[in-house]
Amino acid sequence: MIARLDTLLGKMTMYRQVVYTLAVLQLLAVLFSALGLIGTGGPLEMVVSFAVLFVATTLINRLFAAIFRMRAHNLSTLITAQILFFLLAPPHLDQPLRLVALAVAGAIAVASKYLLAIRGRHLVNPAAFGTLVIVALSAVVPAWRTTTWWIATDWMLPFVVVGGILILFRTRRLPMGGVFVAAATVAGLAYYVILGAPLLDSVRFVLVTSPILFLGGFMLSEPLTLPPRRWQQLGYAVVVGVLMWGTSWIPVVGNHPEFALLVANVLAFLVGQRRGIRLVFAGKRQLSPTSWEFDFTPEKPVTFRPGQFMELTLPHAGSDSRGWRRVFSIASAPGGQVRFGIRLPEKSSSFKRALLDLAPGSQVSATAVGGDFLLPAVPKTPLLLVAGGIGITPFIGSLEQAAVEKGLRDIVVVYAISSTDDLAYVDRLTGAGCRVILASPEKPAELPAGWTWIGPGRVTGESLLAAVPDAVKREAFLSGPPTMVADLRRALRQSGVHRVHTDVFVGY
């Protein structure tokens, strides 16, 4: 079930999934408003409200993109407008100054992406910043005062929960979302109980009429302002959950969830990549008929660990539905060029075609480095690395590092490919000095020393355990298509392998 959901969601980019999910919530809000189930504005007010936000954010985005000579990211701007739609209540049509406030909020939110960026890295969540500024300004301009977070209603609640879970599932941040909901719930209950509210009423205030679930599903996971490591993200979630209830002593912005999120954004900036990443294209080499490796030279040193990923931004003409931001595993060890191994099927996305057409010296930007698919720091831990197809790429940097360590690690690599033509990174695998078990439809004419072919057919739990009898003593890492990863993870768990890490490749 999980593998099928991964495959289904992988057919669209993360940005499009968020846009579509928020659009469904918008349509439901209009419907519930028409039925009299939501008391915040009518259908027409909602339509006009979003129209104002969409126009304001789009115009400001194009203006600043032109000023900074950048390509406008339209989907990101649309998401900002959609989130603001749910944060700021739709005003009545006879309240033109509140419509102005919506436009100002949208303009400030988008402008923050350009102006509140330190060395090219975003500092704050745009929608949260735009909302908080309007809240602060409304203390001076009372006509701008509005209800915030009106999305927190009984009728919208189940749909917000489902949409938020799907987004957190896709981004592999369900644990972070769960920790946030738990921390915010405990802090919220304590807040209301201290104020003297009955416990059952407090539960309703916290889980239904407060924005915990929308914030956790749709804003907390905003990738450009998150810290890079999972343990840091869990701490980040706790900070937001506690601060959203524990800041009542601060005038104007106290107990506003967006204030809590912005404080956490600043803390996340301090522990993450503190500058925008600029990469200069150095060249490419073909790994197989369907895959290539791309080499980039960072303009400034980039901090990462083998097994982590990087999100590349490559504006290009004729962009298809997958957009011009993509996440790729880093296929190199730290300290030199940054390399990516990428599968390029016959019908590739416009992004991958643009990447293939890059000329040496071209510049590409990256927005984030992160991920926890990391080998244990202690070299003596025996390892089992299982890769399906292009899923070999997260292991390459680790194997390069293992080659430098010269035998300090006990590594077995199981490499499954659908054709012998797809065999890639033979030199790196051989250079690492580890045992390699190959699964392919046909046995290659020559196998390097230390390699074993285990026959045709897909790798199953049974064949994997037969090829690696001591797997139960190893820490396992699985990388590849969702179905393969899910099946092998289950098989390893059932056989007694307690430490199994996964990295699922979707959308390929």
pLDDT of residue 507: 56
CATH of region 2-267, choose from 1.10.3430, 3.30.43, 2.40.50, 1.10.1060:
1.10.3430
Along the chain (508 residues), what's the average pLDDT of each consecutive run of 10 residues?
Answer: 70 86 97 92 94 97 89 87 95 90 96 82 89 90 85 94 94 93 95 90 90 94 86 94 87 85 90 77 91 93 89 82 83 91 83 91 87 87 92 92 78 90 87 89 85 85 89 93 89 89 77
CA-based nearest residue to 156, from 261, 54, 47, 33: 33
CATH topology of domain 277-370: Elongation Factor Tu (Ef-tu); domain 3 (2.40.30)
Phi-psi region of 21 (alpha: psi -120 to 50; beta: other; left: phi over 0): alpha
Encoded tokens for 293:
């490796």
Which residues have C-beta within 8 Å of that of residue 219, sequence separation ≥ 6?
Answer: 83, 125, 127, 128, 261
Encoded tokens for 174:
């369900």
User: Was domain 383-504 assigned CATH 3.40.50.80?
Assistant: yes
pLDDT of residue 324: 80
- The answer to whether the beta carbons of residues 223 and 313 sit under 8 Å apart is no
- The answer to whether the beta carbons of residues 386 and 465 sit under 8 Å apart is no
- The answer to whether the beta carbons of residues 237 and 243 sit under 8 Å apart is no
Which residues have C-beta within 8 Å of that of residue 268, sequence separation ≥ 6?
Answer: 225, 226, 227, 232, 236
Q: For the chain, which residues make up each domain, given as ranges? A: 2-267, 277-370, 383-504
- The answer to whether the beta carbons of residues 41 and 99 sit under 8 Å apart is no
Query: Got the DSSP string for 405-472?
Result: HTS-S-EEEEEE-SSGGG---HHHHHHTT-EEEEE-SS--S---TTEEE--SS---HHHHHHH-TTGG
Q: How far apart are CA 347 and CA 435, in angstroms?
A: 34
Which residues have C-beta within 8 Å of that of residue 492, sequence separation ≥ 6?
Answer: 461, 464, 465, 471, 476, 478, 500
Query: Got the DSSP string for 16-39?
Result: HHHHHHHHHHHHHHHHHHHTT---
**SS (HEC) of 210-258:** CCHHHHHHHHCCCHHHCCCCHHHHHHHHHHHHHHCCCCCCCCCCCCCHH
| Distances in whole angstroms, Cα of residue 237 to Cα of each of 187, 191, 312 | 12, 18, 26
3-state secondary structure of 378: coil
pLDDT of residue 365: 87
Q: Which residue has the tokens 């409200």?
A: 49
